[in-house]
Amino acid sequence: MHKEPFYSTTDLLRDVWSYLRIYKWRFFLATISRALGDLAWLYPSFALATIVTYLGNYVPGMSLRPVYTAFLLTIVAIAVRHGGLYIAKTNCFKISERVALDSELRLIKHLFLLDISWHETENAGSKLKRVDRGSSGLNKILRMWINNFIEIGINFVGIVFIITRLDLTIGLTVVCFLITFYFVSSFYKKRGVAASNEVNLVEEELSGLMYESINNIRSVKVLSMSPKITETMSKVIGNLFLKIKRRIFWFQTGSSLRHAYAYTFRLGVMAFIVLGIIKGQYEIGFLVLFVSYFTDIWQSISELVDVSQDFTVAKYGVARMQSILKIPITIDNEIGKKVFPDNWQKISFKNLSFSYGEKSVFENISFEVLRGEKVGIVGLSGAGKSTLFKLLLKEHESYEGSLCFDDVPLKDISKKDYFNHVAVVLQDTELFNASLRDNIRITNIKEENNLELLNTAIETAHVRDFMPKLSNGLDSLIGEKGVKLSGGEKQRVGIARAVFKSPQILLLDEATSHLDIESEEKIKDSLHRFFQSVTAIVIAHRLTTIKEMDKIIVLEHGKIVELGSFTELYNKKGRFHELWEKQKL
């Protein structure tokens, strides 16, 4: 199982502060208010003990002023306590919720910038689980600070100080109880938390599997994948339940032992004080004070143990989230990058080689694309066509050779600026659960109100052909991943989206593969008109799609086997001619 790097409490505090810094004054106000309230709350128990002691020695005719004073100060303490709690929680809870939301946004922004190669190693469900657990962990930790840790600290220091001042022996005995109680409890806590971490990892695995299954529900249903998927889920759930049982054992065993130890200790000290009262060593008020304070301090040490478990689990969630933020941004890193050369004249591929690990995809590929040219790339599956596109899309940069715009390497160009001038239509268009209009406009927010450009995009991609079936036309919601549209309709939206971007360079990867022949012919005609204003590089399985290209490149086994116009390659009667004739059959 994957082991996360060590994440200390110091690391946690530094990361929490990075989110908290902009809200620091409100946070300090909340902290001070809570501390003052908890200090004031130490007084009522002391006042009660004082009253009991005074009344125990009361003789008719004595002044009751000490009793009245104690009552009055208790009222003041109650007001300070609850006023402080209100100010503290009102401010801190707002801050904790905002910090959680800020962390989600920061992580999503970072995920957008991480290389595709990293995203390919992690499933979407696992990533979202880490975002959710991390933001929730930050929220919980800040709430623990204001709900628990301040009160626990004030009680430990204040109560031990007061009892020790009254009786050193009892005070030191209470300190020994706190130390032994905490370490015995920690023994079970650590094992319980370790079991919780194992549960979390398996839950992430299960969440990812469930997300992918629901996300691909159409394939799951029509290809009868559910038996195998549910079998896999059952195995994961079985493993998860074993780890849950282990977690329950450690937590519940520790809880039972803690309570037994605390009750025994309290009873023993109470017996000791009662004997002291009988011997005249203690006042009855001291017994009242001890019982009241011990209840508070026992509650605090139990709360510390319990909240420490929650704290460690929350800390683990934050660690998992922060580990993503520590993954360096490489391809999308803008530092030292150049702007896209707006007046470029050619794209040069020189001795380009690329491998996935030990598997070579293509080797020593060289060709040029002149500005304004339309270039088609064809070849059988596995020839390297899509990988070549991935390099043009800056998804990978671990290639040998050079890929340049004039003399500027693509690696040196800012990815953000590059994609201001480049549009792509992928074989599988990815859509959002938004309106048809927003799914088209999303690529060019600067022109989102440009109706003329929107109409051009719709007409070029023939989106208007299927709009009548949508209840609200362009404003119709198309469902998660565009579930309300067919594969061909999704591709039309993808083409419209690319046209709406008004690019200099248009990359098409099997962009019409889901269209029927008639629809493809219509879109092909309008696309070729659009091609007049762009440089187009097209991957196509249907060779008719690239018949009008200025240049056609035939890839096979990672090498260029033919290059030329349609007429040149067809008349050559080589590999392209063979592929063309096979498609005619």
> What DSSP letter does each residue of 71-108 carry, written as one string?
HHHHHHHHHHHHHHHHHHHHHHHHHHHHHHHHHHHHHH
Q: Return d(Cα 36, Cα 98) in angstroms, integer.
A: 25
- By DSSP bridging, strand 374-378 and strand 535-539 are parallel
Quote the tokens at residue 115: 């290389």
* Cβ–Cβ < 8 Å for 182, 305: yes
Q: Return d(Cα 92, Cα 86) in angstroms, integer.
A: 10
Q: Give 95's pLDDT tier (boundaries 50, 70, 90).
A: very high
pLDDT (tens digit per residue) in 230-278: 888 898 899 889 989 988 888 888 888 888 888 999 999 999 999 988 8
Instruction: Return the CATH number of 346-584, one of 3.40.50.300, 3.20.10.10, 2.60.40.10, 3.30.70.20.
Output: 3.40.50.300
Quote the tokens at residue 332: 């999308």
Residue 427 C-alpha from the chain's centroid: 27
Please compute the mean of the pLDDT values over residues 313-321 and round it to a whole number.
Answer: 89
> Higher model confidence: residue 120 or residue 166?
166
pLDDT (tens digit per residue) in 74-83: 999 999 999 9
Helix (H, G, I), strand (E, B) or coil at 65: helix
pLDDT score for 4: 59
> Does the pLDDT at position 110 exceed 60?
yes
Q: Give 3's pLDDT tier (boundaries 50, 70, 90).
A: low
* Cβ–Cβ < 8 Å for 490, 461: no
Averaged pLDDT of the chain: 88
Listed in sequence order, the residues at least 6 apart from 87 whose beta carbon sits closer than 8 Å to its beta carbon are 29, 30, 33
Most confident of 2-16, 28-42, 442-456: 28-42
Please compute the mean of the pLDDT values over residues 58-76 and round it to a whole number.
Answer: 89
* Cβ–Cβ < 8 Å for 497, 432: no
- Annotated domain spans of the chain: 9-325, 346-584
Q: What is the 3-state secondary structure (H, E, C) of 485-522?
A: CCHHHHHHHHHHHHHHCCCCEEEEECCCCCCCHHHHHH
> Does the pLDDT at position 513 exceed 80?
no
pLDDT score for 532: 84
* Cβ–Cβ < 8 Å for 572, 562: yes
May I ask the CATH architecture of the domain 9-325?
Up-down Bundle (1.20)
Instruction: Express as a percent the part of the chain with pLDDT over 90.
Output: 39
Q: Return d(Cα 32, Cα 420) in angstroms, integer.
A: 50
Count of C-beta atoms within a 10 Å radius of residue 112: 10
pLDDT score for 209: 84
Q: Return d(Cα 149, Cα 308) in angstroms, integer.
A: 10
Query: In degrees rounded to 5, what are phi and psi of residue 382?
Result: 85, 5
pLDDT score for 5: 67
Q: Return d(Cα 547, Cα 565) in angstroms, integer.
A: 8
pLDDT score for 1: 42
> Higher model confidence: residue 86 or residue 383?
86
pLDDT score for 161: 94
pLDDT score for 33: 96
> Does the pLDDT at position 47 exceed 50?
yes
Q: Give 221's pLDDT tier (boundaries 50, 70, 90).
A: confident
pLDDT score for 162: 93
Identify the DSSP state of 474.
G
Q: Give 363's pLDDT tier (boundaries 50, 70, 90).
A: confident
Q: Give 359's pLDDT tier (boundaries 50, 70, 90).
A: confident
pLDDT score for 585: 54
For tokens 């299927």, what's the residue?
Answer: 466
Helix (H, G, I), strand (E, B) or coil at 338: strand
> Does the pLDDT at position 534 exceed 70?
yes
Q: For residue 160, give the amino acid letter.
A: V
Please compute the mean of the pLDDT values over residues 324-343 and round it to a whole number.
Answer: 87
Q: For residue 278, give the amino acid letter.
A: I
> Higher model confidence: residue 305 or residue 569?
569
pLDDT score for 466: 87
Q: Return d(Cα 193, Cα 205) in angstroms, integer.
A: 19
> Does the pLDDT at position 142 exceed 70?
yes
Quote the tokens at residue 123: 């499933």
pLDDT (tens digit per residue) in 517-527: 777 777 777 77
pLDDT score for 584: 67
* Cβ–Cβ < 8 Å for 201, 118: no
Query: In degrees rounded to 5, what are phi and psi of residue 329?
Result: -85, 125
Find the largest Cα–Cα distance for the chain. 127
> Does the pLDDT at position 302 exceed 90?
no
Query: In degrees rounded to 5, what are phi and psi of residue 41?
Result: -75, -10
Query: In degrees rounded to 5, what are phi and psi of residue 510?
Result: 50, 45
Please compute the mean of the pLDDT values over residues 384-403 and round it to a whole number.
Answer: 88
* Cβ–Cβ < 8 Å for 337, 414: yes
Helix (H, G, I), strand (E, B) or coil at 216: coil
